[in-house]
Structure formats: C-alpha cells, structure tokens
Amino acid sequence: MTSIRPSQVKRRSQLARRHIELGAEFEHCSNLIVVKDYGSQTEVDQAKKLGLADLSTLPRIGFKGTGAPDWAAYHGVTLPQQPNTSAVQKDDSLVAKLSHQELLILSDLGVTSTQIERLEDSPIAAQTYALPRADSHCWLAVTGNQAAEMFSKICAVDLRAHKFANGEVAQTSVARANSIVIRHDLGSTPCFYVLTDASATEFLWDCLLDAMAEYTGAPVGVSALRTLS
C-alpha cells in the first residue's frame, strides 16, 4: 500500500474521491499525481476490452488565434493537416487541430514530453492566445475493442473503427455534455480521449461507467495504458 494521496498536491482531479473509493493506487508522475492502477492483476486485459481512465491531472494546453498555427510550427510543432485531425509529435505528445486557428496539445502518458512546457515558456506571437485546457476540461480515456460500441449509446457521431480513423477528432456532445473526442490508439488497442467541461467530470465518469456496464467495462489506471502503448 503506498501512501500517495491526491490531496498531497494542490492540483486534484474532480474524480479523486471516486478513485479512492475504487481502491486506486496513485503514483507521482513528474510533479503530479495520477491513478497507477486499481489493484487488479488483469487491468491490461480490461483495457484491451473496455477500460476507462482519468488523465485529468496530466499536462495539456491550447493555443488559438490566426497566428497560432504558424507560431506553433515555428516552435517545432508538427501541425495536423486538416481541422479535426491530430498528429503525434516526436516527443509522443499529441497535437489536435480543432479549427484552422486552434490547437490542443496533450502530454504523453509518461509525461516525458517537453513540448507543452517549451511552448508555455516561448514568447507568444501576435494573434496567438493560450487556452487553459488543463483546467477547463477533464481528460478521460476510453479504451478497448468495445469502446466504439459503448460510445454509440451516448454519442451521435459514428466512432466505429472503419468510420473514425485513428487520429480523427470529433467535437460533439457526449451524454449531452460538449466534448472533444480524439481517437488515439494505444498500440493495437482502440483508445478515445474525451475532453469535457471540467465541472461535468463526475457526471461524465458516472455516465460512462453506466454505459460500459453492459460490456463489463471498468476503470483502469495509467499503467495499463502505458503497457498497451
């Protein structure tokens, strides 16, 4: 039993209490705290089938404005071609293009990527504006072969593998909450990142677990996700 508790740092997921109730083991990752696992030996298998993970404490940021894409490219960001697609970066972080003028940048699962920090520290250009995506949105991951089928109960966009390719982005409504859905497979396991208004995190978590019950989906920690990727 580790003694790491979410309350040891200032930055806490809205779901910290849910994780504790589920018997989560937490880990320090960089200077933040994330759920390592829920004590199950079969979490990797669970994640392959249908898993739900909370990545809300991991770094992410947004940039918006007519100058944002060029500025980001200048600072080494590989830009996705089209709006509503994403591109994996050299340091394993992920950049999603939400419109011609808006980027969303997500850390890798091990928080080894440096891009977010580098951009935060770079002098910002004209017509470029940072967005506090790390706080405005929660960040959940739904993994597994049954993920798309489960999503069809709460999301009107067809997320099946042959209709929603790896790297695609959908800005839509998930369980009536405005969300950004990004398909970002972990190895051969389908994975969808869901970013939703942070204040609705617990609502969304409960909805997802309810929708997953039919397929015996369950929460998984970040360590299972890392294994898959």
Partner 1 sequence: MKLLTCPLNGPRNIAEFTYGGEYHPMPDPNITDTRAWAEHVFFHDNAAGVVTEWWCHTASSFWFLAERNTISDEVIRTFEASELFNQRIDFVATNSKEGKL
Partner 2 sequence: MKPRLPAPYGSLIDRDMPVNFNFERRSYQGFAGDSIASALAANEQWLLSRSFKYHRPRGALTMAGQDANTMVQLPSNPNALADRELISDNLDVMGQNYSGSLTKDRGALLGFFSRFLPVGFYYKAFFKPRGMWEKWAPFIRKKAGLGIINQQLEPEYYDKQYKFFDVVVVGGGPAGMQAALSAGVEGCEVLLVDENPTLGGSLNYTRFDTEAVRGRKLRAQLIEKIEANSNITCMTDAVCNAWFADNWLPIIRHKRLYKVRAKQTILCTGALEQQAVFHNNDLPGVMMSSAAQRLMHLYAVRPGHAGVIVTGNNDGYANALDLFDAGVEIRAIVDLREQPCESPMIDAAVARGIRIEAGHAVYSAHKSGNHLSAVEIRKITSPGVCADSGEVIPCDLLCMAVGYTPTYQLVCQAGGQLSYDDESAMFTLGNCPEAMQIAGSVNSHWDLDACLAEASRAAVIATNALGLTNADVPPQIARESLSPNHPWPIFAHSAGKEFVDYDEDLTIADIINATRDGYEHIQLVKRYSTCGMGPSQGRHSALAAARLVAAATNRTVAQTGVTTARPPFAPEHLGHSAGRSFYPARRSNMHYRHLEAGAQMLQAGAWYRPAFYGRPDNSLKCINDEVNNVRNNVGLVDVSTLGGIEVRGPDAAEFLNRFYTFGFVKQPVGKARYALLTNEGGVVIDDGVACRFSHEHYYVTATTGGVDRVYQSMLKWNAQWRLDIDIANVTSAYCGVNIAGPKAREVLAKLCTDVDLSNESFPYMGVREGTVAGIEARLIRVGFVGELGYEIHVPQHSGEALWDAIMDAGQQQGIKPFGIEAQRVLRLEKGHIIIGQDTDAMSNPMEVQMGWAVSRQKPFFVGGRTIRELEKKPQLRSLVGFIVHDSRAPIPKESHLVLDGAQMTGRVTSCNYSPTLQKPIGLAYVVPDSAQAGSSIIIKSTGGVPVTAEVVNLPFYDPDTLRQEL
Residues making contact with partner 2 (CB under 8 A): 7, 9-14, 17, 56-57, 64-65, 127, 129, 131-137, 152-156, 158, 160, 163, 175-177, 197-204, 207, 210
Taking the complex as a whole, how short is the minimal distance between the CB of residue 47 and partner 1, in angstroms? 27
Residue with token string 């995506």: 133
Say which entry of partner 1, partner 2, none residue 204 contacts (CB below 5 to 8 A, set by partner kind). Answer: partner 2
Distance, CA of 87 to CA of 77 (rounded, Å)? 9
Alpha-carbon distance of 185 to 193, in angstroms, equals 9
Query: For 128, what's the count of Cα atoms within 13 Å in the CB-facing half-sphere?
Result: 20
CB of 64 to partner 2, least distance (A): 6
The backbone torsions φ and ψ at residue 119, rounded to the nearest 5 degrees and listed phi first, read -65, -40
**CA gap 194, 120 in Å, rounded:** 23
- CB nearer to partner 1: pick between 22 and 177: 177
In the complex with partner 1, the residue whose CB is nearer, 55 or 195, is: 195
Smaller CB distance to partner 2: residue 44 or 151? 151
What is the DSSP secondary structure assignment for residue 54, as one 8-state letter? E
Tokens of 209: 């677990």
Residue 83 binds which entry of partner 1, partner 2, none, CB below 5-8 Å type-dependent? partner 1
Three-class DSSP category at 135:
helix
DSSP letter at 110? T
Distance of CA 207 to the CA centre of its chain: 17
42 binds, among partner 1, partner 2, none (CB under 5 to 8 A by kind): none
Q: Does 95 bind partner 1 (CB under 8 A)?
A: no
CB 207 to partner 1: min, Å: 16
Task: Give yes or no for residue 68 binding partner 1 (CB under 8 A).
Answer: no
Which among 142, 155, 131 is positioned nearest to 189, based on CA atoms? 142
By the rule CB under 8 A, 99 interacts with partner 1: yes
Q: Which stretch binds partner 1 (CB under 8 A): 43-51, 171-179, 209-217, 220-228?
A: 171-179
Is 178 a residue that touches partner 1 (CB under 8 A)? yes
SS3 string, 12-50, reads: CCCCHHHHHHCCCEEEEECCEEEEEECCCCCHHHHHHHH
Residue 127, binding choice from partner 1, partner 2, none, Cβ under 5 to 8 Å by partner class: partner 2
- Site for partner 1, rule CB under 8 A: 83-84, 98-99, 156-157, 170-173, 178-180
